[in-house]
Structure 1
Amino acid sequence: MLIDAHCHLDLPDFDADRKAVIERARAAGVGHFVVPGTTCKRWANVLALGERSDVSVCLGLHPYFVDEHRDGDLVALERALDEHAEVVAVGECGIDARFADSWDAQWILFDAQLRIAKARDLPVVIHCVRANDQVAKRLRQLDLPAGGLIHAFAGSPEQARQFLDLGFVLGLGGALTHARAKRLHRAVASLPDDGYVLETDSPDMPLAGHRGERNEPARLTEVCRAVAALRGQGEAQVAEESSATARRSFRLT
């Protein structure tokens, strides 16, 4: 059974056919879905999905939506985590260096969420774009015992090792299916068998050959095939090991 370790099934992109999307994924061999929260106003939708036995949920404040977050959202996050024991991680949170104008605000928000996760011994789902070294440095300073997931990893083998040494696993998705992603290909080939999980980031992060299309969890099988090819392993082995790592990282039963 494959686990999609990061997909946004709560988003409006799936409102018209969410049930069919999940059924297609299950038919393709994807049996479990980890859905992260991105804004306070969407947490209710995420938690509603978490009532399904095949969905696990995370709650967080995404850096992309920094202008939408309000002063009370961090307090609301702490309250939600205390009230919902089913939440498996804090996230999606992190740093996106493409948006330099909100750099300081992103770090304040990210640091607060890391501390919230540490206080509750929860893993963290981290969005990290063009900031691998800076994020790794902060994680080393805080020493988070529960580790977490570096979502949509796209760095070098050396950066991958930094995160692994800090107790984090790497999320592998559509980016690695593109022929031009040579550095990422080298990183994927260098990972230990228990150092990564598979994800789609649906509806985003399109795979090669699907540009402009809505992504969905059924395409996790294509990610699995690409990872297996890069690592010189069988697809069944990649599926088994990545799913075991997802279960361990998120403490899934």
Structure 2
Amino acid sequence: MFTDSHCHLTFDELHNRLDAVLAEMHSAQVHQALCICTTMEEFSSVQSLAAGHAHLWATVGVHPDNEEVLEPSVEDLVKASGQPKVVAIGETGLDYYQMDERKGGRTVSDLDWQRERFRTHIRAARLTRLPMVIHTRAASADTLAILREEGECGDGSSAGGVFHCFTETREVARAALDMGFYISFSGILTFRNASDLREVAQWVPEDRLLIETDSPYLAPVPYRGKTNSPAYVPYVARQLADLRGTSAQAIGELTTVNFHRLFARTAASNQQ
């Protein structure tokens, strides 16, 4: 069994052929997936999709790089998190990738709205005791600093969560692990130029590992450049297995256990 801990099944590339996507997942032994919300406008579709399928779950949140969308309050996130099959807050975090100060583009100081949005999600996660799905791109120092400022210190009061689609250094991974976060690897792990990332993946403790596709993006080798799908998450597992001297099935099983440990509401919903 494999679990895709991060996918976007409501995006047109997958939603327009959803029946086929779900059938392909089943054939690939991908028996569960977490459907990620990126805007409040999208939330009802994500939540409805999860509610209609026993093997799917949902999050609620606004992606850090989405502008000109409905800005959530703490209260909005807390209320939405009470809907059936919602198991986490996010996707949230910081994304500074598009900044280009050398060319007169936006600067870090222009992104206060991202940092305030991130704080809103952290506060909602702490109130609801739900884990966060963290996106950080070209912003790891600020991501970690804000988590610490908001009380995410790895103690019993922390909400915790996962750093998804991890592409950072071992030092960033260590800091995230020290705060109690999990680390999730995507198809990027299979890319030829990802040798440094593979070293990090080999090092992360097995009880903090997750795998994902981030589909429809970042398809793993041998599908790189094509539309990604949850059915391809076993390729991530195989790469991890090669790095760690085990089998893809073993990686699938341990990351599924980790998934249910982190997203505790998934187990509860299965028992209803």
Alignment of 1:173-192 (within 5 A): 173-192=186-205
Whether the aligned pair in 1 keeps the contact of 2:191 and 2:221 (CA below 8 Å) is yes
Alignment of 1:41-80 (within 5 A): 41-51=41-51, 52-65=53-66, 67-71=67-71, 75-80=75-80
Match of 2:103 in 1: none
Match of 1:207 in 2: 220
The more displaced of 15-24 and 140-149 is: 140-149
Whether the aligned pair in 2 keeps the contact of 1:156 and 1:186 (CA below 8 Å) is no
The alignment partner of 1:6 has SS state of strand
Is 1:142 paired with 2:150?
Answer: yes
Give the aligned length. Answer: 251
Cα displacement (A) at 1:212 = 2.6
The alignment partner of 1:64 has SS state of coil
Aligned CA RMSD, in angstroms, stands at 1.6
- Segments of 5+ residues of structure 2 without an aligned counterpart are 100-105, 153-157, 268-272
Cα displacement (A) at 1:49 = 0.9
Is 1:113 paired with 2:112?
Answer: no
Q: Cα–Cα, structure 1 residues 97 and 72, in superposed 2: closer, same or farther, change >3 Å?
A: closer
Whether the aligned pair in 2 keeps the contact of 1:155 and 1:183 (CA below 8 Å) is no
Match of 2:176 in 1: 163
Normalising by structure 1, we get a TM-score of 0.94
Task: Give percent identity, aligned residues only.
Answer: 31
Aligned AA for 2:255? S
Once the two structures are superposed, residues 202-236 of structure 1 have per-residue CA deviations (whole angstroms, 9 ceiling, x without a partner) of 10122233233100011111111011111222222
Cα displacement (A) at 1:85 = 4.7
Q: Cα–Cα, structure 1 residues 236 and 210, in superposed 2: closer, same or farther, change >3 Å?
A: closer
The more displaced of 228-237 and 168-177 is: 228-237
Normalising by structure 2, we get a TM-score of 0.87
Whether the aligned pair in 1 keeps the contact of 2:40 and 2:62 (CA below 8 Å) is yes
CA distance in 1, matches of 2:74, 2:125: 12
Aligned AA for 2:28? A
Specify which of 233, 237, 243 is matched with residue 246 of structure 2.
Answer: 233
The alignment partner of 2:220 has SS state of coil
Q: Cα–Cα, structure 1 residues 232 and 71, in superposed 2: closer, same or farther, change >3 Å?
A: closer
The more displaced of 181-190 and 138-147 is: 138-147
Cα displacement (A) at 1:116 = 1.0
Match of 1:103 in 2: 111
Once the two structures are superposed, residues 60-96 of structure 1 have per-residue CA deviations (whole angstroms, 9 ceiling, x without a partner) of 000121x2223456543333224x1531000111101
Q: Cα–Cα, structure 1 residues 76 and 193, in superposed 2: closer, same or farther, change >3 Å?
A: same
The alignment partner of 1:99 has SS state of coil
Match of 2:140 in 1: 132
Q: Cα–Cα, structure 1 residues 39 and 73, in superposed 2: closer, same or farther, change >3 Å?
A: farther
Match of 1:7 in 2: 7
CA distance in 1, matches of 2:205, 2:165: 17
Match of 2:85 in 1: 86
The more displaced of 239-248 and 205-214 is: 205-214
